[in-house]
Amino acid sequence: MEMKVVKFGGSSLADAEHFRRVAAIVKADPNRRFVVASAPGKRSKDDVKVTDMLYRCYEMVREGKDITEHYEKIKARYNDIIKDLGLDFDISGELDYIRNAIEHYSGQDFAASRGEYLNSLILAKYLGFDFIDAESVIFFRENGVFDGEKTNDVMREELKKHQYAVIPGFYGVMPNGTIKTFSRGGSDITGSIVARAAEAELYENWTDVSGCLMADPRIVENPLTIKTITYRELRELSYMGASVLHEEAVFPVRYADIPINIRNTNEPEAPGTMIVSTTNEYDSECVITGIAGKKGFSVIHIEKDMMNSEIGFGRRVLDVLEDNGISFEHLPSGVDTMSVVITTSYLEDRRERVIASLNKRVRPDSILIEDGLALLAVVGRGMVKAKGTAARLCNALSSAGLNIRMIDQGSSDLNSIVGVEESDLEKALNATYKEFVKE
């Protein structure tokens, strides 16, 4: 029997109506055996996430304020869900315990994690599934780093005891027994961890969008959904600012070669996006998988005659950056020129020191730092077999009246990076999408 681990985000579990949708999805496929739940998200644009409400309670206690009124709103969210679902389920004891713990300085992570904990209790009751508390199966080391191997061993054995179960996302436990939350990726990470331990054939990540989009819908109107994307392509797009799964949420299933299916709770019939290790599938109509852009970059331009014959020149340049705690993004270079693309914020209080150090270490003929650069990435495994992709990209930007300040073609042919003025990024994204995507 094919086993699936399914994770539902906060928008998918915001209220009783969404709980019913989630239950219908889970029950529609008996292979969906393990469910990872988030805390209730926003019910409307002006609503507040329960996790944010819990964070606020923690802050109010630290400020010496009474949390009674604020905490009553949290209790109402959960009690409303229980009532609307028609459940005979009393969590008043849990709610009182959590409030008491927060008021006695149980910690920020404990407070934040209780949204997932309570939602998972309710979902398990509604589905008729077992409940597995994440603090009994997800572990962190003394230094706060996730202990993947211990977690995998303990969770694998625990999952064998349950046919169906709900596990809260977002948190685990420290060696001293205190709750620890994941810094980024939240419940997505938990879902990935559970999928690996369960040796699932598929990890379904249910959210409020029908998969990964080929471009940012806030910039490009109605971009198409990506049908299939590899982990490498996902990493390229995510790095460039695309709103997709965080790398930490992908690693456990990528390590185990488990595909991820991004699905929409509100459109369960939509196939969504499949994220896979490798694929031989290519879209003959569209050679790219997606595009993304990111602002906030600077370029250090270094010129020196006969630079190419000076052994160790590039290493000394990078040594200066390392000494100043600066990582680089790209190194587009020529025979007598070297350019280093870095994040502008790194230069905030180090600009003059970097210039002085470079002058001392490599004695360039000239050195200039230009700000206001945005990077646009065109990503796609189909680019390997398609001729003239870079030319099409340049022509599209040129036809839109945009100036290309930099171009860097990856050696794997998986992506092309183009630098444009920050003010031109939105226009560049639209021009690129129009060139490559035939709707």
Count Cβ atoms below 10 Å from residue 183 Cβ, excluding itself: 11
**Shared-domain flag, residues 341 and 204:** no
Predicted pLDDT of residue 17: 96
Predicted pLDDT of residue 281: 67
In a domain, residue 248? The reply is no
Q: In the listed set 208, 229, 253, which residue is the last one of a domain according to the structure?
A: 208
**Shared-domain flag, residues 195 and 329:** no
**Shared-domain flag, residues 23 and 124:** yes
CATH number of the domain that 325 lies in? 3.30.2130.10
Domain containing residue 150: 4-208
**Shared-domain flag, residues 187 and 294:** no
Predicted pLDDT of residue 272: 93
**Shared-domain flag, residues 297 and 177:** no
In a domain, residue 168? The reply is yes
Predicted pLDDT of residue 239: 75
Select from 239, 269, 267, 256 the least CA-distant residue to 379: 239
Select from 96, 110, 82, 89 the least CA-distant residue to 13: 82
In a domain, residue 251? The reply is no
Predicted pLDDT of residue 236: 82
> How many domains does the chain fold into?
2
**Shared-domain flag, residues 299 and 199:** no
Coil/strand/helix, residue 141 = coil
**Shared-domain flag, residues 27 and 156:** yes
In a domain, residue 150? The reply is yes
Predicted pLDDT of residue 125: 98
Q: Which amino acid is at 102?
A: I
399 Cβ contact partners less than 8 Å away, ≥ 6 residues apart: 431
In whole angstroms, give the CA distance from residue 236 to residue 415. 8
**Shared-domain flag, residues 420 and 312:** yes
In a domain, residue 426? The reply is yes
Predicted pLDDT of residue 233: 87
Q: What is the mean pLDDT of each run of 10 residues along the chain (439 residues)?
A: 90 96 97 97 94 96 96 97 97 97 93 97 98 98 95 97 97 96 83 96 91 90 90 82 71 88 93 88 72 93 92 94 92 88 92 94 94 92 77 91 84 80 95 86
Q: Which amino acid is at 370?
A: E
In a domain, residue 339? The reply is yes
Predicted pLDDT of residue 283: 56
Q: In the listed set 161, 185, 208, which residue is the last one of a domain according to the structure?
A: 208
In a domain, residue 177? The reply is yes
Angle value at C-alpha 104, between 99 and 110, nearest 5 degrees: 65
Q: In the listed set 208, 229, 250, which residue is the last one of a domain according to the structure?
A: 208
In a domain, residue 134? The reply is yes
Predicted pLDDT of residue 285: 61
Beta carbons of 216 and 429 less than 8 angstroms apart: yes
**Shared-domain flag, residues 192 and 325:** no
Predicted pLDDT of residue 26: 98
In whole angstroms, give the CA distance from residue 246 to residue 239. 9
Select from 259, 270, 166 the least CA-distant residue to 204: 259
The phi, psi pair for 115, rounded to 5°, reads -65, -45
CATH number of the domain that 35 lies in? 3.40.1160.10
**Shared-domain flag, residues 203 and 295:** no
**Shared-domain flag, residues 333 and 191:** no
